[in-house]
C-alpha cells in the first residue's frame, strides 16, 4: 500500500522572473515556476486589480499559466503583477513582480495664453508624464533663465496618480510690467526632454457694476392701483405707475380706498375728452390725465398714481 504525500506550493525564485524595466511599446514576458504536490497551478493578476492588457485588443482580469506575455506594453501596463500558486494544499503562495515602463517626458498645458492685471497674482500650470520621474523646472522664455523660488515666485511640483504624472505650477506675485513675458515649463529624464511655452499678457482689471435698485409697491398699494386700472376704459397695459416714498398701510387706509372709489364713480360721467386733476387730500393724491385724438378715441392713456399713507 502506497501513500500520497501532500506538499503545499512553493514558488521557485531561481526560475521565476524578477522586477523588469522595459521601454514603452516593447514586448514583456513574465515567468513563474512553483513546486508542490499535487503540481501547483499558476494564475496572474494585477496588484491594483486593474485589467491585464495582453495586447491592444485583448485584456483580462486574470491570466492562467506559468508564463504571462504582454505585447507592445504601454505606460498603462506599468505596475505590480502577482503570480499566485495553489494546489489545494494550504496555504497558497504568491510572488510580486514589478514592471516599469520607461518613456520620454510629455507635457500638457491647459492655458497657453494667460492674462492678468498689474499688481495681481497669477499661477501658470503644466502637466507632465515621464518615467523615470523627470526633472521639472521653469524658465523665462525670452532669456532662458531658470526661475528659482523667491518672494516673487512660488514653484510646486506635485505627484499625481498614476505615479508617472506630475502637476507643475509657477505662481508670480504682485505683477509688474517686466513680468509680462513668455514662460517655459521644462521636463527632462534619461529618455529625453521636452518643454512647453505659456505667454503672460497684461489684462484690464475686472470692473464692478452695481446692481440696479428696484422699488416695490406694498401689497395694499398695488391692490389700489389695480382697482383704479380696472375702472378706466382703455388699455390697461398703457398705464405707467410711479411710486414715491412708501409706508405701511394701517387701519386708516380703508377711508382712503373709499375716497378713491367715490372719485371713480364721479369721473365715469364726465367728458373723457377733457383732462382732470383730482385734488389730493391729506392721505392720498391721484392725478389722471387722459389725452384724446380729434375723433374722440383714446390713443394714449397715462395714469400717474402717487399714493401716500401716513400712519399716525
Look-up: residue for cell 505627484?
A: 159
Of the candidates 79, 73, 64, the one whose C-alpha atom is nearest the C-alpha of residue 28 is 73
Q: Is the pLDDT of residue 132 over 50?
A: yes
Please indicate whether residue 217 or residue 41 has the higher confidence score (pLDDT). Answer: 41
Report d(CA 258, CA 10) in Å as an integer.
105
Q: Is the pLDDT of residue 21 over 60?
A: yes
For the segment 45-67, the average pLDDT, to the nearest whole number, is 96
For the segment 33-49, the average pLDDT, to the nearest whole number, is 96
For the segment 38-59, the average pLDDT, to the nearest whole number, is 96
Crossing angle between the packed helical segments 219-231 and 253-267, to the nearest 10 degrees = 10
CB 82 within 8 A of CB 95: yes
Please indicate whether residue 297 or residue 163 has the higher confidence score (pLDDT). Answer: 163
| pLDDT score recorded for residue 210 | 57
% of the chain beyond a pLDDT of 70? 65
| pLDDT score recorded for residue 144 | 87
pLDDT in tens, 234-281: 444 333 333 444 444 344 444 444 544 544 444 444 444 444 444 444
For the segment 190-196, the average pLDDT, to the nearest whole number, is 96
Check residue 297 and give left, alpha or beta (phi > 0: left; psi -120 to 50: alpha). Answer: beta
CB 52 within 8 A of CB 61: yes
Of the candidates 185, 215, 220, 219, the one whose C-alpha atom is nearest the C-alpha of residue 200 is 185
Span between the terminal Cα atoms of the chain, in Å:
120
CA 272 to chain centre: 62
For the chain, list the domains and their CATH numbers. 7-102 (2.60.40.10), 109-202 (2.60.40.10), 219-307 (no CATH)
Of the candidates 292, 168, 172, the one whose C-alpha atom is nearest the C-alpha of residue 234 is 292
pTM of the model: 0.61
Q: Is the pLDDT of residue 51 over 60?
A: yes
The size of the chain, in residues, is: 312
DSSP 119: T
| pLDDT score recorded for residue 239 | 37
Confidence of residue 36 (pLDDT cuts 50, 70, 90): very high
Report d(CA 198, CA 109) in Å as an integer.
8
Q: Is the pLDDT of residue 221 over 90?
A: no
Report d(CA 137, CA 147) in Å as an integer.
8
For the segment 83-107, the average pLDDT, to the nearest whole number, is 97
> How large is the C-alpha radius of gyration of the chain?
42
CB 249 within 8 A of CB 309: yes
| pLDDT score recorded for residue 299 | 34
**Residues in Cβ contact with 273 at an 8 Å cutoff, skipping those fewer than 6 apart:** 290, 292, 296
Amino acid at each position: 500500500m502506497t501513500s500520497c504525500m501532500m506538499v503545499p506550493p512553493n514558488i521557485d525564485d531561481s526560475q521565476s522572473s524578477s522586477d523588469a524595466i522595459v521601454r514603452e511599446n516593447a514586448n514583456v514576458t513574465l515567468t513563474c515556476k512553483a513546486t508542490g504536490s499535487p503540481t501547483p497551478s499558476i494564475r496572474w493578476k494585477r496588484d491594483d486589480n486593474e485589467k491585464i492588457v495582453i495586447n491592444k485588443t485583448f485584456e483580462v482580469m486574470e491570466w492562467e499559466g506559468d508564463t504571462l506575455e504582454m505585447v507592445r506594453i504601454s505606460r498603462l501596463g506599468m505596475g505590480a503583477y502577482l503570480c499566485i500558486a495553489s494546489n489545494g494544499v494550504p496555504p497558497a503562495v504568491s510572488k510580486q513582480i514589478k514592471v516599469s515602463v520607461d518613456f520620454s517626458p510629455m507635457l500638457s498645458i491647459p492655458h497657453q495664453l494667460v492674462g492678468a492685471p498689474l499688481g495681481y497674482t497669477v499661477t501658470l500650470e503644466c502637466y507632465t508624464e515621464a518615467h523615470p520621474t523627470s526633472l521639472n523646472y521653469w524658465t523665462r522664455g525670452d532669456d532662458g533663465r531658470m526661475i528659482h523660488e523667491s518672494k516673487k515666485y512660488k514653484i510646486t511640483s506635485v505627484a499625481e496618480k498614476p505615479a508617472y504624472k506630475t502637476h507643475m505650477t509657477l505662481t508670480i506675485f504682485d505683477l509688474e510690467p517686466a513680468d509680462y513675458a513668455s514662460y517655459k515649463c521644462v521636463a527632462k529624464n534619461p529618455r529625453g526632454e521636452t518643454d512647453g511655452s505659456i505667454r503672460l499678457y497684461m489684462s484690464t482689471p475686472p470692473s464692478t457694476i452695481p446692481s440696479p435698485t428696484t422699488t416695490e409697491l406694498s401689497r395694499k398699494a398695488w391692490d389700489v392701483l389695480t382697482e383704479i386700472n380696472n375702472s378706466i376704459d382703455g388699455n390697461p397695459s398703457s398705464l405707467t405707475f410711479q411710486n414715491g416714498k412708501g409706508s405701511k398701510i394701517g387701519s386708516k387706509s380703508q377711508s382712503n380706498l373709499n375716497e378713491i372709489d367715490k372719485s371713480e364713480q364721479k369721473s365715469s360721467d364726465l367728458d373723457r375728452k377733457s383732462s382732470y386733476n383730482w385734488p389730493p387730500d391729506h392721505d392720498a393724491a391721484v392725478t389722471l390725465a387722459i389725452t384724446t385724438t380729434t375723433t374722440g378715441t383714446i390713443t394714449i392713456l397715462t395714469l400717474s398714481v402717487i399714493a401716500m399713507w401716513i400712519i399716525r
